[in-house]
Structure 1
Amino acid sequence: MIAYAVQRDVNAAQLCKLAGIDLAALRKSHAAPVTAQQLQDLWLNAGRLTNDPLFGLHFGESLQPAALGIVGEIIQSSATVGEALTHAAALTHLVTDQCRMEIARSAKTFMVRLLPATDHGATPPYAFRQLIEVLMVMVIHELDGLLLQKIVPQAVRLAYTVPDPAEYERVFRCKPSKRAGEYVLVFDNRYWEEPLLTANYELQNLLLQKVSSLPKTSDQPQTLQTRIYNYLLANSYLGVSSLDDIAANFNISPRSLQRKLKEEGVKYQDIADAVRHSLAVYYIGAGNYALKDISWMLGYNELSAFTRAFKRWTGSSPLQYQSL
């Protein structure tokens, strides 16, 4: 959470101080556990300092590499999506003690239900609401990673009225509805028995290695284009995000984002292409991976489209570059 706040241009030391957390102590391997009050204050101040009341929702949306790491562990003991979700549900206690996850199936759908440890009614505390939203969005991204496609839930049900329906619909990929006491994701049953697509996992793991090698964020403010570049790179395992998605995650309108980037002398498409170029060269140089897999990982539906883009970036085709 702190790392994501820093990505949103928040000073980590300031955030931790406001939450009563010793950042230096937190970095140590035997740090004292964060208290419930500190966690509540951390959520509140992260939302305030980023000027983003939907901080938890956007934090969940940004957790794709973390979700991918979880996917990697689950893949080792699962053959199908259903098995993977069942195993994931059993591991929820490792993430939080505020709720548990339950999986239920019917003839046409399966549901992922989060069951709170405490009944908060229709007005749950701010921190709990943020946690629920993070977990629910992570489930969707976990399915994305398992199936290597963007999965759209049939329904999303929350126990409270959401403050920005359009933004929730964008992140959840369907319009959420309110139902007392429920935190539920509903998916088409056809996904349940789908075998896990593990062919790209080495490439996905390679992405995580590249992300982990990014320079550590300093205390000095970064340019917007640098922050966007790092975000796109860290969240690119299912393609590079659109301008609208990035703008929403940075809590700014697309037009304002374009204007701010113009002031820095760059266009959004330039940054997106730089990320694709960097990853393409990295993937091809790292090993003998199928070009169609690399193309898919970079968000190209057709190998021919990736080939044209790569020639534009480097002057040679991916196949020629691979043989160098």
Structure 2
Amino acid sequence: MNQIVLAVIAYAVQRDIDAAKLCQLAGINLTALKKTDAPPVTQQQLDALWLHGTQLSGDPLFGLHFAASVQPAALGVVGQIVQTSATVGEALTHAVALARQLTEQCRMEIARNSKNFTVRFMPATGDVNAPTAAFRTLVELFMVITIHEVSGLMLAKIAPLTVRLPYNVPDVAAYEQIFRCRPTKRAGEYALVFDAHYWDEPILTANYELQTMLLKKVAAMTQQEPAKTVNNLQTRVYNYLLANSYLGIISLEEMAANFNLSPRSLQRKLKEEGVKYQEIADAVRKSLALYYISSGSYQLKDISYMLGYNELSAFTRAFRRWTGSSPLQYQSL
């Protein structure tokens, strides 16, 4: 649970929330929390963290937007899952067992038939139909992470067949965008339903290595590019895209939601700074592409998928536009 709390605080900082103020309001000692032997955060502190994060950001969907942006590797379980799994089904089965490393408040189970498989999320105690705000946010977090990781294991954007929640969501369009499927209300159930053919799909273990390399790249770029510490909107968007570019670059609509703006308002504010969202996204893609290719360790098709291109040809055209040469030509330099 402490890993989740640290990730929430890091996300809050990206949203221009003062970490010290947030921790003070939530009754959390940040210095102590960073220690490996730190005592677990209490339920009261977690409830306060979500509450004050929502208030300080001015975003009623603060928790959901955090779920959409979180890097599962930062929670410390993805590597264990990948290293012990050959297929998506095995990875999910291991994830069920490892979930308790993150929290004791929620447990998972999987049910299968010939047409689909269902991943259910249940409270360890309490009524699933009357969840606290903190538990509701926690389960939504695990559900979004599951969707992203099924995609990440296959390097493809996978959407569930069905998303079930025991309540009516406050913003259907926002939930549909993040869950990749319009949620339906069903009493007593938090569940994701996927097509059965994904179960036996082999996972691409290189994806975890790419993600690890990306996290190192983010840290390196923070040190190497002091100009990027300027606190204007385009810099914040650039840094957000870079830090959350696992499985591609998010859309303008998703970025606007994470900054609690409408897409039109985000475009207008960026225009006032003399830049377009697509230009910032391309700058991040170019930076990551050059880094990945220079490493010499990964196939071009994997790099193109990581940067959000469905076809290698599309990545090649973009790379030629950025550099004047093809990825293959750049590799041979």
TM-score normalized with structure 2 length: 0.91
Q: 1:224 aligns with which of 233, 237, 246?
A: 233
Matches within 5 A, 1:117-156: 117-156=124-163
Return the offset for 1:234. Answer: 2.3
CA distance in 2, matches of 1:2, 1:40: 13
More deviation, 186-195/295-304: 295-304
Q: Deviations over 1:190-243 (max 9, x none)?
A: 1111111234443333222212435389xx982222221122122223221111
Return the offset for 1:289. Answer: 2.8
More deviation, 9-18/304-313: 304-313
Counterpart of 1:275? 284
CA RMSD of aligned residues (A): 2.0
Return the offset for 1:99. Answer: 1.2
More deviation, 294-303/109-118: 294-303
Q: Deviations over 1:268-324 (max 9, x none)?
A: 011001001100110111124322222222122232322222222122222222122
Counterpart of 2:266? 257
Counterpart of 2:42? 35
1:186 equivalent in alignment to 2:200: no
Structure 1 runs not aligned, ≥5 long: none
Matches within 5 A, 1:243-254: 243-254=252-263
Counterpart of 2:298? 289
CA distance in 1, matches of 2:63, 2:275: 29
More deviation, 193-202/235-244: 193-202
Aligned partners of 2:128 and 2:189 also within 8 Å: no
Q: Deviations over 1:100-136 (max 9, x none)?
A: 0101112211110011112335332111111111011
1:20 equivalent in alignment to 2:8: no
Structure with the largest fraction of helix: 2
SS at match of 1:46: helix
Q: 1:301 aligns with which of 310, 315, 326?
A: 310
Aligned partners of 2:93 and 2:110 also within 8 Å: yes
More deviation, 79-88/258-267: 258-267
Q: Deviations over 1:36-81 (max 9, x none)?
A: 1111101100111111111121111111353796333212111111
**Identity, % of aligned positions:** 69
Aligned partners of 1:159 and 1:182 also within 8 Å: yes
More deviation, 180-189/258-267: 258-267
Aligned partners of 2:73 and 2:211 also within 8 Å: no
More deviation, 193-202/123-132: 193-202
Q: 1:197 aligns with which of 180, 204, 207?
A: 204
SS at match of 1:114: strand
Aligned partners of 1:110 and 1:189 also within 8 Å: yes
Matches within 5 A, 1:52-63: 52-63=59-70
Structure 2 runs not aligned, ≥5 long: 1-7
SS at match of 1:213: helix
Aligned partners of 2:165 and 2:186 also within 8 Å: yes
SS at match of 1:157: strand
Counterpart of 2:4? none
Residues 221 and 23 of structure 1: CA distance in aligned 2, closer, same or farther (over 3 Å)? farther
CA distance in 1, matches of 2:83, 2:56: 39
More deviation, 131-140/55-64: 55-64
SS at match of 1:91: helix
Residues 204 and 31 of structure 1: CA distance in aligned 2, closer, same or farther (over 3 Å)? closer
Residues 26 and 71 of structure 1: CA distance in aligned 2, closer, same or farther (over 3 Å)? closer
Q: Match of 1:282, as an amino acid?
A: Y
Residues 126 and 200 of structure 1: CA distance in aligned 2, closer, same or farther (over 3 Å)? closer
Return the offset for 1:148. Answer: 0.9
Residues 259 and 87 of structure 1: CA distance in aligned 2, closer, same or farther (over 3 Å)? same
Return the offset for 1:18. Answer: 0.6
Counterpart of 1:171? 178
CA distance in 2, matches of 1:149, 1:72: 19
CA distance in 2, matches of 1:97, 1:288: 38
Counterpart of 1:8? 15
Q: Match of 1:264, as an amino acid?
A: E
